[in-house]
Chain A
């Protein structure tokens, strides 16, 4: 075990937890793996796959139940302290002291790790330079943006030079710009210090940078290998299809994802639809799905391989139930995906009107003079880094926060001042899927049904309908549901009263890719049925499902238009939304700097 090029050696590892319902389950189920030194290693997998549990065991914070676990040649079980002396671990929510300044946080962590004074100055200087935070050393950590907090967390983790760095989802909830900066720092450290890094991530483009990838699912490893080897699994299965003429790409995407017996995955991308077929289903069998469009094969991507692996290991019966529900729901209320699509001309005026909207907190401008319209049946996406003003705009639209100045109208009224009844036309799904945790699923739904004025037979009917539509267990206690189910329950509660307008605040954060596909399938069919959808997200690729998007940064509206228009505005090298977003935010920041210089 003491070979110098092996950092982590794991053999038959098992960790059992008690599930919230009292039944034990294996969070880590007989895992064996080795991690090579001086390399970047990625753990990928949906939420609850066991990535965090494994990292915590490697850091000596959790005791394994069975198996052997050696880190840096040390048995972690026997001697966790000497492992901890040589590694650095950054948990998902890093413990920054929000009232202490950036410098004080750094000092504190240096003290905790016993970093000698003479080393500190050089190390701090380097960290502040890499994170570009030298200007902010006096600012309290609590006043930093989400991305900056994460960078400071990384800097605090790295106040000393470890032999192994463990990063648990460092980029979760972080905007593309900050995400890129974080990776710059990690790359630089690997180059300069030959650091071994293990990072868990939900982003495939991040996994792609790594030398070795382990794909986790339900406490097991589904596959491992370098990115190229994994990609090969999906070789020859990937295609690009043109969107149907005069229809958003999501219409074709919905048709494809509704055929799970033949299609593994389909997403709208760059105005087209990218999809992969099941290996056992040849091209000829797809003909009826694609009769009215042009299809070309494309190179396999890592995400394709990941989706392939997940679909193959999905619980088949549950899958079938999900699909049945999706289809039923289409038939029930919203018609099939491709009929009755209101074309732009038929739409009868904007449902939401925002003019010169401003919101200030003290002397801080959270939203600066923002104007946009949303048409009926449109999916409108609000995109932006954390702290860009999305949530503030959102809360003003829902009437939860008064605007400092400007005009806003939802379904013809300002919800803040309108009669309470006007709110019956909107549905709202909040960021954390806020529901009453100690009530059961049914009790939550019955409460919201009552609050929305549903009674008697109609109430019973609607509660039953949404329970079936979202495949919920009525008697489960909602507080201990897995996050994917919480999201479905929140959606169910928001749709009980069949609103005309649905507000969704970061509805896909923390949700695994399969659940996200199912979520968007529901959204697209709602839009098809004429429901107007306003959604915020930090997953840029989800902008592709939207009819139009608005990009905000530092409170300002930087771009507004269809995804294609926004990509155009970003320039030629923006092939996907992620790059378009970065380009637009950077163009704006550069312009502001120029203006300052000119002034």
Chain B
């Protein structure tokens, strides 16, 4: 028994050494190419900064026009509160409602506030005093956000007048107290940005060797399919993790978004997620005969995966059938997992369900790729 165990152990070490030779070769080939070196890490850095600054739904400097027919102390007070938030910028003071149309059409203002002449009078007699807001609905999310904000300011003003309304809403946004969209978007980038690159990298890995004829050379060595798979997958997963780390560092220390969860759990999730991505990439690669084909398939796949990930639009808003499809999209669960661990400090029990679909995808695509290595008909 002891002897059998020993040879089994020796066999396993030999197996590992063989696989390691391939891992080493893959990493060398990756870093020795100067073009590769920059492509691997510069885009992650650049995109993280770009998304951090560029992609935001938060309102700042919303241009608006005002038609103040009341010209009273009350209306001046209300408008002063509006300007005081720093969110709104008064572009024009108009004489009549008829002038609003042009300004909104030309996009000079996003909204117009119309205060009727009896505004102060109604307030003093204790009546309801309606004011009108006209919004540019061509951009629904911004318009909605602006209207909400004005509503809050007006309600606030109403309360200050003493007439306390029967129900008030106290808003407390958990995990993102100021509801900054950067906080929602950036942690998702830890998964999303590295996903694109690892997918492409793994999609090219086998296709490149097929194109250059080295894949045959690899197949005639005693390396098993599992070994080739592992040898090719590990470098891609490593690159994905390094990219995720770069983005994580930028988010944590440059944009200073606080991390609430465990780094261990985050990385466990990222390994699972990247493995699923690499599995998809390797399957594409094993199917493609040339690098061009692999690239094409990858781009064909990336757009739907991004759209159906819930990164930009919530999955629950999608039609039922699309929601079902999102279950095979590792990006959806990767993003969900990262967001929850990062912002909410979720523990394993909270995000365990996110792991299941990612593991299933990895468990199907990785062996599929290995099978395709040899059985893809030339």
Q: A residues touching B (Cβ–Cβ < 8 Å)?
A: 395, 398-401, 415-416, 420-424, 426, 428, 430-432, 434-439, 443, 446-453, 455, 493, 503
Interchain CB contact under 8 A, A451 and B32: no
Interchain CB contact under 8 A, B220 and A423: yes
A434 to B213, CA, bound (A): 5
Contacts of A435 in B (CB 8 A): 214, 217
Interchain CB contact under 8 A, A430 and B217: yes
Interchain CB contact under 8 A, B217 and A452: no
Contacts of A438 in B (CB 8 A): 29, 32-33
Q: B residues touching A (Cβ–Cβ < 8 Å)?
A: 14, 17-18, 20-22, 24-25, 28-29, 32-33, 212-214, 216-224, 227, 374, 378
Interchain CB contact under 8 A, A447 and B21: yes
B373 CB to nearest A CB, Å: 11
Interchain CB contact under 8 A, A446 and B21: yes
Instruction: Please give me the 9 A-B residue pairs with the lowest Cβ-Cβ distance, nearest first.
Output: A450-B21, A434-B213, A447-B25, A451-B221, A428-B220, A420-B224, A434-B214, A424-B222, A423-B222
Q: Which of B25, B28, B221 has the most CB of A within 10 A?
A: B221
Interchain CB contact under 8 A, B32 and A434: no
A437 to B20, CA, bound (A): 20
Q: Which of A421, A424, A447 has the most CB of B within 10 A?
A: A447
Contacts of A453 in B (CB 8 A): 14, 17-18, 222
Interchain CB contact under 8 A, A452 and B221: yes
Contacts of B221 in A (CB 8 A): 423, 448, 451-452
Interchain CB contact under 8 A, A437 and B212: yes
Report how many A-B pairs have Cβ atoms within 8 Å. 84
Interchain CB contact under 8 A, A439 and B222: no
Interchain CB contact under 8 A, A439 and B223: no
Interchain CB contact under 8 A, A451 and B28: no
A451/B22 contact (C-beta < 8 A), A420-B223, A423-B220, A428-B220 known? yes
A439 to B14, CA, bound (A): 24
Interchain CB contact under 8 A, A451 and B18: yes
A436/B25 contact (C-beta < 8 A), A423-B220, A451-B221 known? yes
Task: Offer 18 A-B interface pairs, CB within 8 angstroms, sorted by A.
Answer: A398-B216, A398-B220, A399-B220, A400-B216, A400-B219, A420-B227, A423-B220, A428-B220, A431-B213, A432-B212, A434-B216, A435-B217, A450-B17, A450-B18, A450-B20, A453-B14, A455-B17, A503-B220
Contacts of A451 in B (CB 8 A): 18, 21-22, 218, 221-223
Residue ID in chain B nearest A450 by CB atoms:
B21
**Which one of A421, A422, A426, A430 contacts B213 once the chains associate, using CB atoms below 8 Å?**
A430
Interchain CB contact under 8 A, B28 and A443: yes
A538 to B188, CA, bound (A): 58
**Which one of B21, B22, B28, B227 contacts A439 once the chains associate, using CB atoms below 8 Å?**
B28
Interchain CB contact under 8 A, B212 and A420: no
Residue ID in chain B nearest A424 by CB atoms:
B222
B229 CB to nearest A CB, Å: 13
A424 to B374, CA, bound (A): 17
Residue ID in chain B nearest A421 by CB atoms:
B222
A13 CB to nearest B CB, Å: 35
A455/B14 contact (C-beta < 8 A), A420-B224, A434-B212, A438-B32 known? yes
**Which one of A401, A424, A450 contacts B22 once the chains associate, using CB atoms below 8 Å?**
A450
A440 to B270, CA, bound (A): 34
Interchain CB contact under 8 A, A450 and B24: yes
Contacts of A399 in B (CB 8 A): 219-220
Contacts of B29 in A (CB 8 A): 436, 438-439
A434/B25 contact (C-beta < 8 A), A420-B223, A423-B222, A451-B222 known? no
Interchain CB contact under 8 A, B378 and A439: no
Contacts of A432 in B (CB 8 A): 212-213
A405 CB to nearest B CB, Å: 16
A423 to B221, CA, bound (A): 6
A387 CB to nearest B CB, Å: 15
A557 CB to nearest B CB, Å: 22
Interchain CB contact under 8 A, A428 and B217: yes
Given contacts A400-B216, A420-B222, A443-B28, 6 further A-B contacts (CB under 8 A): A400-B220, A434-B214, A439-B32, A447-B21, A453-B18, A455-B14
Residue ID in chain A nearest B378 by CB atoms:
A401
Residue ID in chain B nearest A416 by CB atoms:
B374
Contacts of A424 in B (CB 8 A): 222
Contacts of A415 in B (CB 8 A): 220
